[in-house]
Each structure stands twice: as structure tokens, then as C-alpha cells.
Amino acid sequence: DTAVSQTPKYLVTQMGNDKSIKCEQNLGHDTMYWYKQDSKKFLKIMFSYNNKELIINETVPNRFSPKSPDKAHLNLHINSLELGDSAVYFCASSQGRIYNSPLHFGNGTRLTVT
Amino acid sequence: AQSVTQLDSQVPVFEEAPVELRCNYSSSVSVYLFWYVQYPNQGLQLLLKYLSGSTLVKGINGFEAEFNKSQTSFHLRKPSVHISDTAEYFCAVSDHGGGFKTIFGAGTRLFVKA
């Protein structure tokens, strides 16, 4: 059983398009995250939701909009895609709204904008 | 605000040799420290964590790390590496001042040679 699953695994699209990435976790966690990993492998947090409430919203262009329909799902919608959005996007989850809870990651979505 | 510095971007080592991957952090409050490993085309998975107590922490796959508060370090070690340990290793920190964020270092690429 996959604990944190993301779809799609690969996403190739043209500049200006709108795309979505979906994430689901079956670990029973109530906190979920989106991280962006650039070409140099640097990981940066974008958003976090706890029980459908947005608790972290980093300095991310407002073309990126997260949505959590329930605590097991966190989606990421990106409008007007730009070349610089090309990266690997990771969904993660953790147990509860606590600082010492390790993150469980999905396998990532590789977004390529041409 | 917390930050993490991984001092080596790449570490080449021969199989069965020992290895140390260095990590330093900065934080004004008590911290929780983690090491994650990322194999090619996969998400990150937890290797080990320091939350409190003994400063020597043992993790999966024979890895261990030592928390040194005076030097603000959390170096990862393995006495004898295998080819299969070739991967990207990330040090991470979260603390009470970070607002539930886990901040990652830039990663260290461990390359094990036969």
C-alpha cells in the first residue's frame, strides 16, 4: 500500500497552461504539505494544511493555489505556467500539528514547462 | 529563524569505507533534527531523528548521527558503506520558532564506488 501517492508522476506542458497535481495519504495523518525541489535538489516548503486549514503559506506566486477537500487529500493547482515552474513537486504528510513529527513523502511529480 | 547548512555537496567514497556527512544548524530555540535519504526518482524517506535524550541516534541501514549542541551539529555517519547507499542525503530541522515548518539543507550526494 502506497502511503503518500501523487498523480501524475510526470507532467509536461507548455507555458501559459493551467495544471493540477493531486495527492492522497492513507496514513491517517492530519497535516499535509507541498514542497518544491529545484534542479539543484534544494527543497523549499510551499504550503501546509492541518485538518483542511491552511497553516503555512510561503512566499509563492499566487498562480499556485492549494486545496484540501479533506485531511487525506491535498491538491495543487498552478495557473499560467512559466518556465521557472519546472521542478519536482513533493507532497508530504505528518502526524498531527507538532514540531517533532517526521515527514512522509510521496514520490514526486516532475513538472516540465516548455 | 532556523537554517541548515550541509557542508559538502558531494562525497565520493569507496565501498566498505566509513563515511561522515556533515550538517550544521542554527536556531534560537530547542530543535528537532532529522536526516532523510532520497534515492533516484523517489521521494525522501526518514533515516533517523533526534528529538531529545541520548545525543547518539541510530537509524535504518546502519546509519547513526550525533547531536552536538555546543557545535550546533548533527553529523551522519556509517562505518562501512555499500554501493546501495549511493543517494542524496538531506539534513533537516524544525523548531518551535519555525511555525511547524521543517527546513532542509541543500543535500549531500553520497557516491559509493566499487
- For residues A105 and A39, is the Cβ–Cβ distance under 8 A? no
A63 Cβ contact list (under 8 Å, min separation 6) = A78, A79, A80, A81, A82
Residue that wins the pLDDT comparison between B2 and A12: A12
> What per-residue string of b and e applies to B8-22 under the rule 16 or more CB within 10 Å gives b?
eeebebeeeeebebb
* Residue-level length of chain B: 114
Q: Which three cell numbers stand for residue B98?
A: 519555525
User: Are residues B100 and A107, on separate chains, in Cβ contact within 8 Å?
Assistant: no
Q: How far is B53 from chain A (nearest CA, A)?
A: 13
Q: How far is B51 from chain A (nearest CA, A)?
A: 7
Give every residue of chain A whose pLDDT is below 70, as ranges: 1-2, 96-99
Average pLDDT over residues B92-97: 76
At A74 the three-state DSSP class reads strand
CA dihedral (B100, A18, A72, A27) in degrees, to 10, reads -80
Interface test with A, best of B10, B33, B44 (most A CBs within 10 A): B44
Q: What confidence score (pLDDT) does residue A59 get? A: 81
Taking contacts as CB-CB distances below 8 angstroms, the residues of chain B near A50 are 100
Q: For residue A41, give the nearest of B94, B100, B107 by CB distance.
A: B107
* Residue-level length of chain A: 114
Q: Give the β-pairing of B10-14 and B108-113.
A: parallel
